[in-house]
Amino acid sequence: MTERFDCYHCEGSLFGRKYVLREEQPYCVACFEDLFASTCEECGKLIGCDCKDLSYKDRHWHEACFHCSRCRGSLVDKPFAAREDQLLCTDCYSQEYSSRCQECKKAIMPGTRKMEYRGSSWHETCFVCHGCQLPIGTKSFIPKDGQNFCVPCYEEQHALQCVQCQKPITSGGVTYREQPWHKECFVCAACKKPLSGQRFTSRDEFAYCLGCFCDLYAKKCAGCANPISGLGGTKYISFEERQWHNDCFNCKKCSLSLVGRGFLTERDDILCPDCGKDI
């Protein structure tokens, strides 16, 4: 007795008929198309077993229906781009949507590498240094007056030279007495700590942090023996070549503040009139 060979779905005999295997099960063509065939996005008809099924992101087309939404040219075996569910050939896409190269003004085609900076785009081969005309690619660059320069060309043509080390300043920097410095070169003349962003003062054209300036040059308070910087509005009293912080200018005996008051002296001491009346 001959073994049966039937459609897995309708159980109709497949002897002498075309059939399709799916997951190792045979289906007649009619059942296969009813159950599994995709619907063409363009014409809305089933894509039968005798047709080539072209798919893109879970969407399907007949080979004859797979064309550009604008010019209607075939996209079979050609590069294309998708925009708002429409498929476009590269020419139509570039005319409608591609950014334009800032240098050559031509469209930057889909799939080609482009460089972007501050809202502008370039072909990779058009994004070149204004000085040496070599492609910048992914290397560092510096913009100036609407042009882009590689770092060596910028340093050679435009960068300020640090007054301390004589090397180019490519970013940041400090200006002191109308001269440019690297931040790391602008340091205290005594302790060599960086002064950028810190309070400092100068003497004989040298810059000092406040600590070093006070230690080296500030007068010492006759009361507490600490330096009187005189900086930042610090107030002090001066009398006969001696100086006091305002807070230290007090009567030696009763500690009354003598700022703005009369006082007497007894050798190195200062006294209020009451404490000094018995001198």
The reported pLDDT for the residue numbered 213 is 86
| Segment 103-124, tens digit of pLDDT | 898 888 777 788 888 888 899 9
CB 263 within 8 A of CB 272: yes
Residue 204: CB atoms within 10 Å: 7
Q: Which of helix, strand or coil describes residue 157?
A: helix
| Segment 49-96, tens digit of pLDDT | 888 889 998 899 999 999 999 999 999 999 888 888 889 998 888 777
96-158, CATH topology level:
Cysteine Rich Protein (2.10.110)
Residue 204: name the closest of 190, 184, 191 by CA: 190
| Segment 190-211, tens digit of pLDDT | 999 999 888 888 888 889 998 8
Strand partners, 129: none
CA distances from 184 to 194, 201, 236 (A): 6, 17, 35
